[in-house]
Amino acid sequence: MPEAARTAAEIEERIARRRESLAVTLDEIAVRVHPSTIVGDAKARAAGAVDRTVGKAAFAVSRGAENVRAQLVSAEGGPRLDRVIPVAALAVAVTGLLVLSSRRRRR
């Protein structure tokens, strides 16, 4: 419909609809730029990043534990003594060194 053929009432109605549309848009913008919304969004992004990092770390630890278990346990489920005994001896030696070191520091 050409502009000249519109009545004053149609033009006023169109202006009113545009004002309502602009008011809704401005309200949405006001919510998006409100400090609490920005802080909430930043917290959500940070929490998501932490969750992803924790998930990756948990997976890596689980995979590492499975690798260690595969090295120390045979396919039948019994301990592989050729590998368990040196690891146990190393653990005892490290623990002994830590105990001796802490005793020397106390003196």
pTM of the complete model beyond 0.85: no
Confidence of residue 2 (pLDDT cuts 50, 70, 90): low
The sign of the torsion formed by the CA atoms of 38, 39, 44, 50 equals positive
pLDDT score of 50: 94
pLDDT, tens digit (0-9, with 9 covering 90-100), for 47-101 = 999 999 999 999 999 999 999 888 888 888 898 899 889 989 999 999 999 999 9
pLDDT at 37: 92
Distance, CA of 79 to CA of 71 (rounded, Å): 9
